[in-house]
Amino acid sequence: MPSARGLEPGDTAADFKLRNARSFVMDEIDSNSSKNPFKPVHMTLEQTIGETGGVIMFTCNHCPYVVASEERIESIASFCRENGLGFVGINSNDSIVYSSDNWDNMIIRAGEMSYPYLHDFDQTIAHAYGAERTPEFYLIDGKGIIVYRGRLDDSPRDPTKATTSELLDAINSTLSNSPIGVNRTDPIGCSVKWKE
């Protein structure tokens, strides 16, 4: 069942508390660092955005659009960290029908990520945001307001053909307190796999 259009730029981001697969990766469990960002077993919106803001990405394990964008996504996540912004991935896919997106496979996948990977097992958060595709991005400012929603760029499957960078442009505008030129784009990717 597809979501309604959901939250748009200017709306207050929906709060959440979701289980973090990254905290179950063995090398992270063994880490004693109290500053380890992967430690929280559950993460909330407040922990995600902090005082500066952050990016929520609806994603999954198997979508070819996600897989082909991994290097660019990691680059954006790193840029966010370097500039005091949060970054999390949320998997909302029906893991019964799509076993590649189940919890055990999320933990395996989380070991390859540099950011928290959250499980929206009952799809409540995807419905609240109106997520439609993977990957789909929501940039949220430090006040909890959505300032950008949509795609990473115009060619998620082939970075050599990308002619735009809407998400990064929006992040840079937010960091410089400048108006965002394009605050809404249609995401390009696989549909969220809804429970029946």
pLDDT at 29 over 80: no
Query: Mean pLDDT, to the nearest integer, of 95-113?
Result: 94
pTM of the model: 0.92
pLDDT tens digit sequence for 129-149: 999 999 999 999 999 999 999
Q: What is the pLDDT of residue 147?
A: 98
31 Cβ partners below 8 Å, 6+ apart?
Answer: 38, 39
196: confidence class by pLDDT, cuts 50, 70, 90: confident
Cα(103)–Cα(20) distance, integer angstroms: 10
By C-alpha distance, which of 87, 93, 89, 88 is closest to 121?
93
pLDDT at 126 over 90: yes
Query: Mean pLDDT, to the nearest integer, of 58-79?
Result: 96
Q: What is the pLDDT of residue 2?
A: 44
Query: Mean pLDDT, to the nearest integer, of 174-183?
Result: 96
Mean pLDDT of the chain: 92
Domains of the chain by range and CATH? Answer: 17-191 (3.40.30.10)
pLDDT at 164 over 70: yes
**C-alpha dist (Å) from residue 176 to 77, 103, 171:** 18, 38, 9
